[in-house]
Amino acid sequence: MPHLRLGTRGSALALAQSRAVARELARLHPDLHVEFVTITTKGDRILDRELSQVGGKGLFVTEIETALLAGDIDLAVHSLKDVPTEQPEGLVLAAFPERADPRDVLVSRDNRKLAELRTGAVIATSSLRRTAQLRHLRPDLQFVPIQGNVDTRVRKMRLGQADAVALAAAGLIRLGRAEWIAEYLDPEVCLPAAGQGILCLEAREDDAATRELLAPLDSPASRVCGEAERQVVAALGGSCQVPMAVLAELAQERLQIRAVVSDLQGETVLRASGETAEAVVTQLHEMGAEKLLPDWG
């Protein structure tokens, strides 16, 4: 019987995502046994600071990739938005399963939508990207950081720490919490992070057997969109310390990419769109985005 050791973070969402992948692998390969190996990452250990202040890349993946390279696990399941654009030598992103809803959402007390929040209402989010875009639209609102997993963040909000919390739709849906969503935010209001809603399955480049097992899970549309979004981030020198958003969509074999770069306060918001990463990056360059992106170039 084939046996795969799947490396995953221990959060409820990471486990839900990994179990979904395991179920799909079992459907495709009925004689396959998947063993879960839980790995704690640096991002999981940081509980007293906002991750945007920590800096660095791979906060939620580095330890898992180390285990993969060491042969302690055979594949890893990541949220693509957590994966640095520079791939470690010897590892490949073997499959991009079908994308879940990439949008951001609002979970709020009294189920209020963004437009219904009173002046001075508090939105909790630790995402600079969400804060900048929502503040640009609603400068009358207050924004505060929040820590913890999805359930913890929503509980803190309901206990009075905020009037609403901004989260990724995909996470709530995968956890079976879609009924909590007060509003799906249109990408024109809050463009998502590159890779949001996409899982990626990572394996060793020289492990042909595992890559063959994972290949049927690869969605060409998810891969094309995910790679295009990552190309934009890589070209811009993407950093978690700069508000940046990218969404690629494929319709009738035509790729459309939208990107947003903003200052931290959401006062200057640059928007670009095009059919290639190069076109979008060129537009942002012509708009002067390098003033907002210290790592660009």
Residue indicated by tokens 């004689």: 31
Crossing angle of the two packed helices 220-236 and 277-286, in degrees rounded to 10: 30
How far separated are the first and last CA of the chain, in Å rounded? Answer: 50
Backbone angles phi, psi at 74, to 5 degrees: -105, -25
48 has catalytic annotation: no
Q: Are 164 and 123 in contact (CB under 8 A)?
A: yes
Spacing of C-alpha 292 from chain mean position: 21
3-state secondary structure the chain: CCEEEEEECCCHHHHHHHHHHHHHHHHHCCCCEEEEEECCCHHHHCCCCCHHHHCCCCCCCHHHHHHHHHCCCCEEEEEHHHCCCCCCCCEEEEECCCCCCCCEEEEEHHHCCHHHCCCCCEEECCCHHHHHHHHHHCCCCEEECCCCCHHHHHHHHHHHHCCEEEEEHHHHHHCCCHHHCCEECCCCCCCCCCCCCCEEEEEECCCHHHHHHHHHHCCHHHHHHHHHHHHHHHHHCCCCCCCEEEEEEEECCEEEEEEEEECCCCCCEEEEEECCHHHHHHHHHHCCHHHCCCCCC
- Residue in 82, 101, 163, 207 annotated catalytic: 82
Token pair belonging to 68: 């993969």
Cite the active site residues.
82
